């Protein structure tokens, strides 16, 4: 460290300091490839697809021209406007996040404005020329069967046979109104409107999505790209244009614009929150379709409007699993139009009670922002030999639901014969206790009895049972088989209930005590014969006594009648004698009178 002739001093470093610096430089050089490799691992592009595996932030224009995947655990934040090539699919895996904070637009937006009778379109191309033509492009040729008139000012043109209509108009900045007078049953779209002129101004074209209209409905025909969200999506104050968006994870839109990105599909496992956002047109009749049990929160949002619903809940199917086959199903008030359906459950008790898509829409918010829900119910009826069983339920708003018609449950509780011995071909009495532990009554239940599966000769056992009721019915059992046997009784199941026999009865039934059946010997029957003979003698004796008494009464009656007849005869004879005496007396009197008269004569 000496200064020599004004020269700069030179410092000589020690060897160990020189070596340490060299080693550090070598390490840094070795780490450069490693650092480059780590940075490159955040995003890979193999020429056919892009994969984000770490945390990426795009703050400048970064076109996406290949299928891209945000892998599980990774985050992609888009802070700069981005375009997406036609046909590209962006997938956000579970546990991955896509945060969109600036516009993401498809390169090819395919839209059309649906026009109806009395639809109006307001135009102002600016000052292009004093006069010119307004060319209206339609999505198809209007057939001759339609009435399709288009008017601007005092000029009206018939669109029949055309797919584009030219109408004279001022192009000097004067506002123009296009009016439609239509009687046509098929939907028609205006795809764009063009200003044709001979002036120096450029030709102006307004695409369908930019048209100012009243009474029309913006419809997007095909999506430009796809967004498959299995993880998390946030859209904040940004526009998504031309996307086919499916949310099976968690999706949040705040201050967002969905331009040609409807309908958004919220799957059964998805959750969508929409706040202070705008929807500009849909490819279907709704901006959002919530499938099955997916979740939605929809606040302060402006939908496409008109005939396009803000959101609907669409069930993938509407199936009931009932507790029996051949149940009649009468459903009313189903879905969007409150439709009616009649069907039968199959042999497994299953039935599809909504055969159309409209019948599977169970709630919705219309184009005016008004909430609706179906008011539907289902009547299930099962007709059996024991009676008709029915129940009415509110139509479930889930894809698959269970329903049960109340049924009886008939059980033979016990069988008790009056004796454990019996004689063949002679009746033996007993008690059969039956019960209904089900939730519905059963009428005309017929019980059959068996021994080792063979029908037995018993008295008829028929009864009715209310829910919870127990009854004792009496049975007489006859058999021609010698030996020890026990009687088993079970209810006779109606054919329609046999497939679910375990749900309506105890298939094991009940069994009596053992009964020893023998052939009756002669001596054993004598007491019964003696009793029968005594009974016959007593009856015969009683009959004889009563018969003799009856005869005596009759003879006495006859005697009395004869005596009365004699008395009457005697009385009549006395009357006759008395009469004759009176006559004779009268005659004697007359003679005396005559005699007196003759005496007097002589006396004179």
What does DSSP say about strands 470-478 and 428-436: parallel, antiparallel, or unpaired?
antiparallel
Q: What is the pLDDT of residue 587?
A: 46
Distance of CA 424 to the CA centre of its chain: 59
Q: What is the mean pLDDT of residues 233-243?
A: 97
pLDDT at 274 over 80: yes
Which tokens hold the place of 75? Answer: 């985050």
pLDDT at 601 over 50: no
Question: Each residue of 317-340: pLDDT tens digit?
Answer: 999 999 999 999 999 999 999 999
Backbone angle region of 349, left / alpha / beta, with phi > 0 → left and psi within -120 to 50 → alpha = left
Question: Each residue of 259-272: pLDDT tens digit?
Answer: 999 999 999 999 99
The percentage of residues in the chain with a pLDDT greater than 90, rounded to a whole number, is 71
DSSP for 529-576, written as a single string: HHHHHHHHHHHHHHHHHHHHHHHHHHHHHHHHHHHHHHHHHHHHHHHH
Closest CA to 219 of 186, 268, 261, 182: 261
pLDDT at 52 over 70: yes
Q: What is the pLDDT of residue 254?
A: 98
Q: What is the pLDDT of residue 25?
A: 37
Q: Are 265 and 284 in contact (CB under 8 A)?
A: no
Question: Each residue of 438-491: pLDDT tens digit?
Answer: 999 999 999 999 999 999 999 999 999 999 999 999 999 999 999 999 999 999
Question: Each residue of 277-329: pLDDT tens digit?
Answer: 999 989 999 999 999 999 999 999 999 988 899 999 999 999 999 999 999 99
Q: Are 475 and 446 in contact (CB under 8 A)?
A: no
Among the ranges given (125-134, 368-377, 467-476), the one the predictor scored with the smallest mean pLDDT: 125-134
Q: What is the pLDDT of residue 542?
A: 77
pLDDT at 256 over 70: yes
Q: What is the pLDDT of residue 20?
A: 41
According to DSSP, residue 592 is labeled: H
Closest CA to 311 of 347, 258, 348: 258
Bridge partners (DSSP) listed for residue 169: 132
Q: What is the pLDDT of residue 356?
A: 95
Q: What is the pLDDT of residue 201?
A: 60
Widest Cα–Cα separation across the chain: 251
Q: What is the pLDDT of residue 336?
A: 97
Which tokens hold the place of 295? Answer: 């979740």
Beginning with the edge strand found earlier in the chain, give each strand of the sheet holding 483-485 in spatial order: 421-423, 515-518, 483-485
Q: What is the mean pLDDT of residues 127-149?
A: 94
Q: What is the mean pLDDT of residues 221-228?
A: 95
Closest CA to 93 of 76, 110, 69, 109: 69
Q: Are 162 and 140 in contact (CB under 8 A)?
A: no
Question: Each residue of 498-539: pLDDT tens digit?
Answer: 999 999 999 988 999 999 999 987 545 455 556 667 677 788
* pLDDT classification of 377: cutoffs 50, 70, 90: very high
Which tokens hold the place of 503? Answer: 């749900």
* pLDDT classification of 234: cutoffs 50, 70, 90: very high
CATH topology of domain 110-220: Jelly Rolls (2.60.120)
Question: Each residue of 397-426: pLDDT tens digit?
Answer: 999 999 999 999 999 999 999 999 999 999
Q: What is the pLDDT of residue 130?
A: 87
pLDDT at 15 over 80: no
CATH dotted code for 410-518: 2.60.40.10
Instruction: Give the whole-angstrom CA distance, residue 361 versus residue 334.
Output: 8
Instruction: Give the whole-angstrom CA distance, residue 52 versus residue 100.
Output: 15
Instruction: Give the whole-angstrom CA distance, residue 134 versus residue 167.
Output: 5
**Burial (CB count within 10 angstroms: exposed 0-12, middle 13-18, buried 19+), residue 281:** buried
Which tokens hold the place of 394? Answer: 């509110």
The percentage of residues in the chain with a pLDDT greater than 70, rounded to a whole number, is 82
Q: What is the pLDDT of residue 306?
A: 84
Q: What is the pLDDT of residue 544?
A: 74
* pLDDT classification of 566: cutoffs 50, 70, 90: low
For the chain, the average pLDDT equals 86
pLDDT at 155 over 80: yes
Instruction: Give the whole-angstrom CA distance, residue 207 versus residue 582.
Output: 154
Closest CA to 248 of 222, 223, 270: 270
Instruction: Give the whole-angstrom CA distance, residue 226 versus residue 233.
Output: 13
598 membership: H or E segment, kind and range: helix 526-603
Bridge partners (DSSP) listed for residue 547: none
Q: Which residues contact 129 (CB under 8 A, 6 or more apart)?
A: 171, 172, 197, 198, 199, 201
Q: Are 260 and 209 in contact (CB under 8 A)?
A: yes
Bridge partners (DSSP) listed for residue 454: 451
588 membership: H or E segment, kind and range: helix 526-603
Q: Are 328 and 341 in contact (CB under 8 A)?
A: no
Q: What is the pLDDT of residue 560?
A: 66
């Amino acid at each position: 460290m000496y200064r020599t002739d004004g020269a700069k001093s030179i410092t000589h470093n020690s060897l160990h300091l020189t070596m340490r610096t060299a080693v550090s430089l070598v390490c840094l050089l070795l780490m450069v490839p490693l650092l480059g490799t780590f940075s490159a691992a955040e995003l890979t592009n193999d020429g056919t697809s892009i994969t984000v595996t770490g945390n990426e932030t795009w703050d400048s224009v970064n076109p996406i021209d290949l299928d891209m995947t945000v892998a599980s655990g990774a985050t992609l934040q888009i802070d700069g406007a981005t375009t997406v090539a036609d046909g590209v699919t962006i997938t956000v895996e579970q546990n991955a996040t896509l945060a969109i904070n600036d516009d993401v637009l498809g390169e090819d937006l395919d839209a059309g404005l649906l026009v109806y009778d009395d639809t109006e379109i307001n135009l102002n191309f600016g000052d292009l020329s004093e006069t010119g033509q307004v060319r209206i492009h339609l999505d198809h040729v209007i057939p001759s069967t339609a009435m399709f008139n288009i008017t601007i000012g005092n000029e009206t043109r018939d669109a029949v046979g055309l797919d584009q209509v030219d109408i004279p108009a001022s192009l000097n900045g004067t506002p123009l109104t296009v009016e439609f007078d239509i009687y046509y049953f098929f939907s028609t779209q205006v795809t764009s409107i063009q200003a044709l002129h001979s002036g120096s101004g450029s030709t102006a074209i307004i695409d369908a999505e930019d048209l100012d209209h009243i009474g029309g409905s913006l419809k997007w025909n095909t999506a430009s790209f796809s967004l498959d969200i299995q993880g998390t999506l946030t859209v904040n104050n940004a526009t998504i244009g031309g996307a086919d968006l499916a949310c099976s994870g968690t999706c949040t839109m705040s201050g967002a614009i969905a331009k040609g990105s409807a309908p958004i599909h919220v799957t059964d496992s998805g959750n969508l929150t929409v706040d202070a956002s705008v929807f500009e047109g849909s490819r279907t009749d709704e901006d959002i379709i919530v499938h099955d049990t997916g979740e939605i929160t929809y606040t302060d949002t402006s939908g496409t409007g008109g005939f396009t619903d803000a959101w609907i809940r669409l069930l993938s199917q509407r199936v009931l699993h009932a507790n029996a086959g051949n149940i009649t199903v009468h459903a009313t008030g189903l879905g969007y139009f409150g439709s009616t359906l009649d069907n039968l459950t199959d042999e497994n008790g299953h039935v599809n009670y909504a055969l159309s898509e409209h019948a599977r829409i169970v709630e919705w918010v219309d184009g005016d922002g008004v909430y609706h829900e179906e008011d539907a119910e289902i009547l299930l009826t099962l007709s059996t030999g024991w009676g008709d069983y029915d129940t009415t339920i509110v139509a479930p708003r889930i894809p698959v639901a269970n329903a049960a018609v109340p049924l009886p449950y008939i059980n033979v509780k016990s069988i008790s014969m009056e004796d454990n011995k019996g004689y063949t071909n002679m009746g033996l009495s007993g008690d059969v206790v039956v019960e209904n532990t089900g939730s519905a009554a059963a009428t005309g239940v017929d019980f059959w009895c068996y021994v080792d599966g063979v029908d037995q000769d018993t008295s008829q056992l028929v009864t009715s049972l209310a829910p919870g009721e127990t009854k004792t019915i009496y049975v007489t059992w006859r058999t021609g088989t010698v030996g020890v046997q026990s009687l088993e009784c079970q209810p006779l199941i109606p054919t329609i209930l046999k497939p679910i026999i375990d749900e309506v009865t105890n298939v094991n039934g009940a069994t009596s005590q053992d009964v020893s059946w023998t052939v009756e010997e002669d001596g054993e029957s004598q007491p019964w014969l003696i009793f029968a003979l005594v009974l016959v003698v007593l009856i015969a004796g009683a009959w004889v006594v009563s018969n003799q008494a009856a005869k005596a009464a009759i003879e006495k009656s006859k005697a009395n009648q004869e005596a009365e007849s004699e008395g009457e005869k005697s009385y009549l004879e006395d009357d006759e004698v008395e009469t004759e005496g009176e006559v004779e007396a009268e005659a004697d009197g007359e003679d005396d009178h005559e005699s007196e008269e003759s005496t007097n004569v002589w006396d004179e």
